[in-house]
A = this chain, B = another copy of it.
Amino acid sequence: MTTSDTTHRFDAAIALAPLDEGTYTGSTHPDYGNMVGPFGGIIGAALLNAIMQHPQRLGDPLSLTVHFAAPIADGGFTVEAKAIRTNRSTQHWYVTLVQDDQVAAFATAVTAVRRDTWHGLDAVFPDVPPAAAIAPMPAIARAAWTASYEMRFVSGLPGAPDSASDSSESRLWLRDQPARPLDFLSLAALCDAFFPRIFVRRPKWVAIGTVALTTYFHADAAQLAAQGSAPVLGRARALNFRQGFFDQTAEVWSETGDLLASTHQVVYFKE
């Protein structure tokens, strides 16, 4: 783990120092703090980073499921990545994050070697104005991580006094702040940057926490490289809020209409 003044804050936040093959130490980072503990997206990216750095890795990320098993305290942690099964073109992973001798978060993932096949895109790129036409949202002081993303809301700004709505959908342009070329790690984090849908649906702040998050990577490394640091278009919505939990789902698109990722999570809410 070597970081310098020129290291992007995202790379500093997900940096892992090797202890042994597949085992690393890391630490939370103030620029990705949330109201309590770290932003979940940065933890998911750190867990994926343990796979990306693993000498046995086959291929690039295809899916990532992160369990936020307990509150994570600000400070250090240990990450261990294990390849559970390696096939000819896919590999299945289990990764744990340990603090105080207890698993606080864990992830499963698939990495895969991609190859050209028939292709078809069923999802439809949303009808939105270009990013440059929309002013960025100011950061939220009590959630430091929001200053690490540039968010330009087309619709569905959370927490607005008039936000009570039959729809939990948001459409927004977003990218890392400062700008940083997109890769699998930053895309993984960004997939958790859609505010809890309950804050779009109801004009009331309640305690919430993501319980588990699954992301499917549709883009390959070449598509991500072509993306550079251009903004991506996110479309997020929920299906159902009930008995202390809700789901939410999002699509992440390039400006040029490539579907880069789709993501799903289940979230706890207090009342």
Contacts and interface: CB of A to CB of B under 8 A. Distances in A.
B239 A63 contact: no
Nearest to A112: B245
Interface residues of A, number: 62
Contacts of A242: 117, 119-121, 218
A8 interface: no
Interface in A220-249: 220, 237-245, 247, 249
A211 interface: yes
A5 interface: no
A193 B87 CA distance: 25
Interface of A, helix, strand, loop or mixed by DSSP? strand
A211 B90 contact: yes
B266 A239 contact: no
B243 A115 contact: yes
A132 to B, nearest CB: 27
A92 interface: yes
A262 B244 contact: no
Contact of A65 (B96, B120, B212, B251): B212
A92 B102 CA distance: 12
A85 B102 contact: yes
A269 B90 CA distance: 12
A69 B94 contact: no
A128 to B, nearest CB: 17
Contact of A271 (B65, B117, B214): B117
A268 interface: yes
A168 interface: yes
Contact of A70 (B85, B106, B108): B85
Given A115-B244, A218-B247, A243-B114, A237 B108 contact: no
B118 A271 contact: yes
Contact of A237 (B62, B87, B92, B122): B122
A110 interface: yes
A216 interface: yes
A142 B50 CA distance: 42
